[in-house]
A and B are shown apart, each in its own frame.
Chain A
Amino acid sequence: MMAKRVGMEVSVAIGEAAKMANVDVVAAYPITPQTHIVEHLAELVADGELDAEYIPVESEHSAMSACLGSSAAGARTFTATAGQGLELMHEVLYVASSMRLPIVMTVANRALSAPLSVWGDHSDAMAVRDTGWIQLFTENGQEVVDNVLCAFRIAEDQRVLLPVMVHLDGFHLSHMIEPILLPEVEAVKRFIPPLKYPFPLDPLKPVSMGDFGPPFIYSEAKWAQEVKLREAKDVVVECWQEFGKQFQRHYSPVEEYRSEGADVLLLTMGSYSETAAAAIDKVRAEGKNIGLVRLRLWRPFPFAELRQKVSQARVLIVLDRALSIGGPVGPVCSEIRSALYGQAKQPKVVSIVGGLGGRDISVAGFEAIISRGIKVAEKGSRNEFEIFGVRE
């Protein structure tokens, strides 16, 4: 049987991907715009199409706590959340990564209250930046499906054993019906080997997990985690290469679009990158030497790849879909600047924040962002960063 091209809601396709990965446990709490993902999984379990435990919990805090237990028992574990739900999970996210549990979670990125917003931006993702999870951003339905499959393989790799978050834009991806190639189940089975967690909870071979870490050992424990997360980058890249070989779709930590030799670069993350690419086509057609760079691997941060891809440009405009309120520039831009600081050759980095709380950025919008960015780079600005599209 060949891979099947189907028109499908991206959320439903994620459920299908988790099914193909043959998950053992799903513990989740519904929250817009993620609900359709776990709704579909609940349906698959109820209909007997997926042999898994579906644990309907009373909150996201409980969802992630239940995931800790099932993952520690050696079960392949999946969950999904968004926005406030991710925030409610916050403290447990740290436990999942520091206990090195290979949980896979999709996050349908959503703005944070108040004012109450169910719509998409990257505020939720940025708030969990330092939780120690591997984090990937995706741009379309196909990428989400592919990266959910990769996430299981990466998380469960014996060299990694860390949880993975796959970010997809709420509504702009989660609620979109679009063509998706669903790989063949057998091929997925070959791609994701069975989970062999080294210390599964077992009454016959008891262990203690999440023990006390007094001052004499806490730093060592955290450094071990830091080293492992950084080393995971090689496994992520290796996994994407293997995925490319088997499924002919290719991913890398920092991706480019018509950026070779560009004088000005725009950097984006998530689904708005596709609209941005359309804008790049327009400005290129006008003869402007402008390209696009998209950050796919957010954690561990791909320092070398980023430096290699942007350092030759004169101007780098970074679009953030979140604010670091009262802080420096947008959170992504802040990290980009930090990654480039002290490099012999580096572009002038301009921070623009836009697309907050689900506000669209059209092709024309991206053209405006590019010209504004160039102007700020050349003439300077009194602001630490620019905000796009706010009515004065």
Chain B
Amino acid sequence: MAAETGTPTTLTLKSNDDELFSVAESAAILSVTIRNMVEDGCAGGVIPLDNVDGKTLASVITYMNGISAIPADEEKKKSYRDKFLSDKDFETLADMVLAANYLNMSCLMDAVSAKIAQVMEKKSVGWVRRKFGIENDYTPEEEAAVKEEHKWTFEGVETDDDN
């Protein structure tokens, strides 16, 4: 809540690697997790965010400030989200989706999930396994069985020529 003098309330957030960040309360409460803490009166001092590192938190705060500066216009918010995520690499996206989940920010969670899904689209099985760090623990027989069971899904997906 902004003070009546017009000075916005500022919160201090602490990442799990002990970096401190100042952020306007009005932007920070996009996170339901932070909003609940504020409403419970825990916001007096420093708000510790045990599941988010400093690098990711800095990025999330950039997003919070950016999106809350846009008036209620879904189109503009969407294009801001697209632009914000456009230069993020895969590791960053994975960190962001974890942070968005922990902070309970459904709009960021949705946008990052959609972005990761977009990267996966039309990629070969081998590509996705490498990028996602997934170890194939199927036996050849099991893999053949799953492939057979889901035969209808493999039309239109690129063949896996480098695995």
A binds B: no
